[in-house]
Amino acid sequence: MGPVSQTLPPPPPLHDIRVIDLSTVIAGPNCARYLADFGADVIKVERPDTGDSLRNMAWRDPRDGEGLWWKLVNRNKRSLALDLKDDADRDLLLRLVRDANVLVENFRPGTLERLGLGPDELHAVNPALVITRVTGFGQTGPYRNRTGFASIAEVMSGLASISGEPGGQPLLPAIALTDEVTGLVGAFATMVALHSGTGQVVDVSLLESVFQMMGPLLSLYKLTGEMQPRLGAGLPYTTPRGTYLCSDGKWIGVSASSDTVAARVLRLLGVGGDERFETFGARMANRAELEAIMIDWCRQRPQDEVLRLFDEAEAAAGPVMDMADIAADPHYAARQAIVEVGGTPMQGLIAKLSETPGVLRWSGRGIDADGDDIRANGWGIRP
């Protein structure tokens, strides 16, 4: 009997892409993380003394004291400590740039230039390099030099102005929403630039990333003068839509954003055929009445019954879940939406590719964990 042939799994789709990650905290490093998750060789560059401030931000792993955010955002990256004001360290960086495909940074505009590492200098070393620059307000415009954080982008993009209860204070997201979105925007824009085959600068801002999420609200205002009000969990163009309390103290979320689903919900609520609710326009004109019916219907039933009835009616509803619910949920488990990387539970890959999937290899590493190898061998042979 002859030898059994083995088919090796295909390499991840970005296995031939080399990325230098000079960025800090969340948005820029997330851009590089998404590339690393799908196989890019990413070298994370940090300050030698303190490293990236994300290491010490928010919650820590009780087992080893490492930052949980650090472990997630900088997974799959090699770690190198460099002082960019030191000639030898800057020379090492430029040697890495020579064979890199991408450099990600999120310093204030002009900082790279003051270090002698601006796009002109980097492209002189590697004309094909894609330089992804992530800032609060972009590389141009009157706000370019302002200090930029996600929360500031959220208040200046229109998001906070429509978030909150009617007549209440504008609210900010309870997560680093804009940082997370901007990381995805940065990864997408970087891949577009790489596909172009032309070395260039990719200018990504927190402000414009979250502003893109506002849909047609700017068009609505410019064309009609109308502005979306704060409606708590509601939306001005669909009802019922929101979160509703059930008789057992548990909450559900409901959306009836299409006529067919709305018709099913109305039949379930016992108001099918009611002229007040037959069309989008009618439902909007009678929002208060329909919301009151929905609230009362849910208050009379426990959550599991509400969800069963919605499921039987093929209408859209789901339980309001916290992290304890999510950690125990069979769908999250079946989809590998939660995985362990280096023994730390965290989100899995953001998308599933059928033929060339991404690979999660390790969580965020210690400061300069790969420094000796990179100093001796440059890009060398990746782990």
Q: What is the CATH number of the domain that holds 314?
A: 3.30.1540.10
Is residue 383 over pLDDT 80?
no
Is residue 165 located within the same domain as residue 261?
Answer: no
Q: How far apart are CA 145 and CA 164, in angstroms?
A: 30
Following CA atoms 122, 124, 125, 128 in sequence, which dihedral angle do they give, to the nearest 10 degrees?
80
Determine, yes or no, domain membership for 332: no
Q: What angle do CA 189, 192, 193 make, to 5 degrees?
A: 90
Determine, yes or no, domain membership for 47: yes
Q: Bridge-partner residues for 130, per DSSP?
A: 102, 200
Tell me, what's the pLDDT at 169? 97
Determine, yes or no, domain membership for 9: no
| End-of-domain residue from the set 327, 348, 363 | 327
Determine, yes or no, domain membership for 236: no
302-324, pLDDT tens digit by residue? 999 999 999 999 999 999 999 99
Tell me, what's the pLDDT at 4? 55
Is residue 318 located within the same domain as residue 346?
Answer: no
Sorted by sequence, the CB contacts under 8 Å of residue 203 that are 6+ apart come out as 133, 138, 139, 140
Tell me, what's the pLDDT at 6? 66
Residue 382 — very low, low, confident or very high, per pLDDT cuts 50/70/90? confident
Residue 8 — very low, low, confident or very high, per pLDDT cuts 50/70/90? confident
Residue 357 — very low, low, confident or very high, per pLDDT cuts 50/70/90? very high
Is residue 140 located within the same domain as residue 43?
Answer: yes
Is residue 37 over pLDDT 90?
yes
Domain count across the chain: 2
Cis amide leading into 173 (omega within 30): no
Is residue 50 located within the same domain as residue 173?
Answer: yes
Of 166, 320, 324, the C-alpha closest to 246 is 320
Contact 230, 236 (CB under 8 A): no
223-281, pLDDT tens digit by residue? 999 999 999 999 998 999 999 999 999 999 999 988 899 999 999 999 999 999 999 99
Is residue 259 located within the same domain as residue 130?
Answer: no
Instruction: Look up tokens 């919301």; give the residue.
Output: 291
Is residue 163 located within the same domain as residue 270?
Answer: no
Sorted by sequence, the CB contacts under 8 Å of residue 223 that are 6+ apart come out as none
Determine, yes or no, domain membership for 227: no
Q: Across the chain, what does the average pLDDT equal?
A: 95
The catalytic site residues sit at 179
As a whole number, mean pLDDT of residues 4-24 equals 88
Is residue 1 over pLDDT 60?
no
Determine, yes or no, domain membership for 5: no
Q: What is the pTM of this model?
A: 0.94
**CATH code of the domain covering residue 64:** 3.40.50.10540
Task: Specify the DSSP class assigned to residue 56.
Answer: G
Contact 89, 377 (CB under 8 A): no
Is residue 108 located within the same domain as residue 180?
Answer: yes
Q: How far apart are CA 323 and CA 321, in angstroms?
A: 7
Is residue 163 located within the same domain as residue 271?
Answer: no
Is residue 43 over pLDDT 90?
yes
Contact 230, 158 (CB under 8 A): no
DSSP secondary structure of 98-141: HT-SEEEE-PPTTHHHHTT-SHHHHHHH-TT-EEEEEESS-SSS
Determine, yes or no, domain membership for 11: no
Is residue 319 located within the same domain as residue 351?
Answer: no
Range of the domain at 301: 241-327
Give the H or E element holding residue 244.
strand 241-245
Is residue 260 located within the same domain as residue 186?
Answer: no
As a whole number, mean pLDDT of residues 180-195 equals 98
Determine, yes or no, domain membership for 231: no
Is residue 121 located within the same domain as residue 256?
Answer: no
Is residue 323 located within the same domain as residue 194?
Answer: no
